[in-house]
Amino acid sequence: MSDLLSMLPQQLVFGIALGTIYGLLALGYTMVYGVLFMINFAHGEVFMIGAYVGWAVFAALLDHQVGGLHPIWVLPVLLLPAMLFCGGLGMAIERFAYRPLYRRGATRLGPLISAVGASIFLQNAVMLTQGARMKVYMTNLLFPREWRFNFLGVSVSALLIVMVVVAAIMMWGLNTLVQKTRLGRAIRAVAEDREMAAVMGVSVNNVIGATFFLGSALAGVAGVLIGLYYTQIDFVMGYSAGLKAFTAAVLGGIGNIKGAMLGGLILGIVESFAVTFINPAFKDVIAFGLLILTLIFRPEGILGEPLADWKKV
């Protein structure tokens, strides 16, 4: 038992790394839910595609034998295309799979089912075009294994630190955008009272599109980071990561940006710890269990405001 306990600090570090990825993904869910009151089921696939885009750029760099690979310039070169591509993809999904369905019907079944369809479609599109076998990120060419240091007996790699820094920058950027810019105010207005936002002259459709762009771009970042971290990516990784990120969003308080990051961190750490003490096969059960418990006992999440009647949710 003391063996296991001594592993805890190391697991904490791993948990934080995982948590940043869940957090970035959760941001996308939370933002979309904020303006549309809808769970973007296809978000996980956008994340997966981001990982593939990053891989493709990385592979291209290697193919052309570009020397002097250093994360300081390679990282942005990987991240930027992923962000742009995923952002655009997210906007396209909203435009073609969701927007035609907004006016319809009393139930929210339509967009949800369309999202499921989009998710399946994207997964298989990637499988058919990229092959069913996993792709490998040659992370150690970018972050040599020696680039780590020992801190209180815990081994922390440079990659991990970079991940946390990147995630922090992204979150800070998003938060600033939402709190201080005109677009951010428009997003918040639409999230709070769509009709009044329209009366202010806000183009609600454009704001929704922008929200999808931002959330999906962050998913792209998360995809590249997870590629670098786990070094292996495949076309099914989006599904379970997506669900867990959604759990993180709910845990932190859906619609709340800081909540999303907090929820992500908590989930990452809990999952890491759980894997130490329980059969790793059950780690997904942890995430789902947490989700169900949160929705039963505190549906507004940790940082969310209690809603008067959660039936509206």
Partner 1 sequence: MLKLDRVVTYYGPIMALKGISLEINAGEIVCLLGGNASGKSTTIKAILGIVRPQEGAVTFEGQRISGLGTGEIVRRGISLVPEARRIFGRMTVWENLIMGAYSRDGATQVELDQDIERIYGLFPRLRERTTQYAGTMSGGEQQMLAMGRALMSRPRLLLMDEPSMGLSPALVDQVFDIIQEINRHGTTILVVEQNAAVALSIAHRGYVLQNGSIVVQDSAAALLQADDIRRAYLGEDSS
Partner 2 sequence: MSAHRKWALIAAGIAVALLAPLLAPNDYVVGVMARICLYALLALGLNVVVGFAGLLDIGYVAFFGIGSYVYAFLASPHFGIHLPTIVILPIIIAATAFAGILIGAPTLRLRGDYLAIVTLGFGEITYILLLNLDRPINITGGPSGLITVDPPSLLGFVASRNLHYYYLFLLVLGVFLTASIRLRDSRIGWAWQAIREDELAAEAMGVNTVVAKLQAFAMGAAFAGIAGGLLASWQRSVFPDNFLLQESINILAMVILGGMGNVLGVVLGAAVIVALPEIFRDLALYRLLAFGALLMLLMIFRPQGLLPARWPLREKAAEATTKRGATPA
List contacts with partner 2 (CB under 8 A): 37-39, 96-97, 100-101, 104-114, 116-125, 128, 239, 243, 246, 279, 281-282, 284-285, 288-289, 291-292, 295-296, 299, 310-313
Residue 309 in contact with partner 1, rule: CB under 8 A = no
Minimum Å gap between C-beta 207 and partner 1 is 11
Binding at 192: pick from partner 2, partner 1, none (beta carbon under 5-8 Å per type) = partner 1
Instruction: Name which position in 202, 225, 270, 287 contacts partner 1 (CB under 8 A).
Output: 202
Judged by CB under 8 A, the residue of 66, 196, 307, 313 near partner 1 is: 196
Residue 176 interacts with partner 1 (CB under 8 A)?
A: no
Size of site (CB under 8 A) for partner 1? 16
284 binds partner 1, rule: CB under 8 A: no
Please tell me whether residue 251 binds partner 1 under the rule CB under 8 A: no
105 binds partner 1 per the rule CB under 8 A: no
When the beta carbons of 71 and 184 are compared against partner 1, the nearer one is 184
Separation CA 43–CA 46 (nearest Å): 5
Nearer to partner 2, 9 or 289 (CB): 289
Residue 71 tokens, joined: 């994360």
Does 182 bind partner 1 (CB under 8 A)? Our answer is yes
Rule CB under 8 A: is residue 193 a binding residue for partner 1? yes
Of the pair 191, 219, the CB lying nearest partner 1 is at 191
Which of 9-17, 163-171, 191-199, 288-296 is the region at the interface with partner 1 (rule: CB under 8 A)? 191-199
**What are the tokens at 125?**
């599109």
User: CB count, 10 Å around CB of 131?
Assistant: 11
Residue 186 binds to partner 1 (criterion: CB under 8 A): yes
| 158: nearest Cα among 168, 169, 172, 148 | 148
Q: How far apart are CA 256 and CA 154, in angstroms?
A: 32
Q: Which string of DSSP letters, residue by residue, matches the chain?
A: -HHHHHHHHHHHHHHHHHHHHHHHHHHHHHHHHHHHS---TTHHHHHHHHHHHHHHHHHHHHHTT-----HHHHHHHHHHHHHHHHHHHHHHHIIIIIGGGTTS-SSSHHHHHHHHHHHHHHHHHHHHHH-SS-EE--HHHHS-TT-EEEETTEEEEHHHHHHHHHHHHHHHHHHHHHHHSHHHHHHHHHHH-HHHHHHTT--HHHHHHHHHHHHHHHHHHHHHHHHHHHSEE-TTHHHHHHHHHHHHHHHH-TT-HHHHHHHHHHHHHHHHHHHHHS-GGGHHHHHHHHHHHHHHH-TT-SSSPPPS-GGG-
Residue 181 touching partner 1 (CB under 8 A): no
Which range touches partner 1 (CB under 8 A), out of 90-98, 169-177, 178-186, 246-254? 178-186
Q: Please tell me whether residue 283 binds partner 1 under the rule CB under 8 A.
A: no
Answer for which of 62, 125, 199, 293 binds partner 1 (CB under 8 A) is: 199
Does 189 help bind partner 1 (rule: CB under 8 A)? yes
- How many whole angstroms separate alpha carbon 205 and alpha carbon 211? 10
Q: How far is the CB of 304 from partner 1 (least distance, A)?
A: 12
Closer to partner 2 at the Cβ: 124 or 179?
124
Q: Minimum distance between the CB of residue 47 and partner 2, rounded to whole angstroms?
A: 17
* Binding footprint of partner 1 on the chain (CB under 8 A): 182, 185-186, 188-189, 192-193, 195-203
